[in-house]
Amino acid sequence: MTFFFVIGSWLLPEWTPSKSSITDYTGPIMFLTGWTQYWSLFCPEVRQINYDLSALIEFSDGTIKYYEFPRMQKLDLVTKFKREKLRKLFGDNISWPNYAQFRPSICRYLARANNDPNNPPERVTMLWNSIDTPPPDKAHFCYRDELPPHSNKAILFSYKVNPDDLR
């Protein structure tokens, strides 16, 4: 019975509210025994939304810079191949609650990458941009490059930059 509980808790969908509180205890058993599996490609629940991430970098003089995280559909084939790990990080992981602990590091990186000693960044805000995926029927069919724009916006994370972050 314990086996089924441990395996079952690991196979819960990532967005299950209590999954992380359960896998905090069952995860070490999974790693120790080698039972860990990631079935995100063949998962039974298809996403109902199309989304991407962006960030707003606010500077001390009040200006704001818009940063768009890599979007595979906007890249050529060679660049897509080179940036596949970034797609996995920004497309599949960082958006979900189980990976929230990495958001401050990403914000610090963006702050350092855009640092100007005369006008340092003060805040980095990560945005989650989404739109419902059109239903797969003939009446609403559209090609991938004709999907509607991501008009739903939500703040995913906001980080106040410390002076030490810019060193």
Find the domain containing 156 and state its range. 49-166
pLDDT band at 82 (very low <50, low <70, confident <90, very high): confident
40 φ/ψ angles, rounded to the nearest 5 degrees: -65, -30
Per 3-state DSSP, what percentage of the chain is helix, strand, and coil (rounded to 5)? 40, 20, 40
pLDDT band at 71 (very low <50, low <70, confident <90, very high): confident
Q: Which residue has the higher pLDDT, 99 or 13?
A: 99
Q: How many whole angstroms from its chain centre is CA 135?
A: 23
Pair of tokens at residue 99: 């990976």
Domain shared by 19 and 88, yes or no:
no
Domain shared by 25 and 68, yes or no:
no
User: Mean pLDDT, to the nearest integer, of 4-29?
Assistant: 82
pLDDT band at 31 (very low <50, low <70, confident <90, very high): confident
Supply the pLDDT for residue 3.
80
Count of alpha carbons within 13 angstroms of residue 58, beta-carbon side:
11
Q: Domain count of the chain?
A: 2
- Does residue 41 lie within any of the structural domains? no
Does the global pTM surpass 0.95?
Answer: no
Domain shared by 14 and 66, yes or no:
no
Q: Are 85 and 4 in contact (CB under 8 A)?
A: no
- Does residue 38 lie within any of the structural domains? no
Q: Are 35 and 7 in contact (CB under 8 A)?
A: yes
Domain shared by 56 and 25, yes or no:
no
Domain shared by 26 and 58, yes or no:
no
155 φ/ψ angles, rounded to the nearest 5 degrees: -80, 120
On the question of pLDDT at 86 being above 90, the answer is no
Integer-rounded Cα radius of gyration of the chain: 19
Supply the pLDDT for residue 44.
61
Mind giving me the DSSP string for 43-103? -SS--SEEEEEEEEEEETTS-EEEEE---GGGS-HHHHHHTHHHHIIIIIITTSGGGGGGH
End-to-end CA distance of the chain: 52
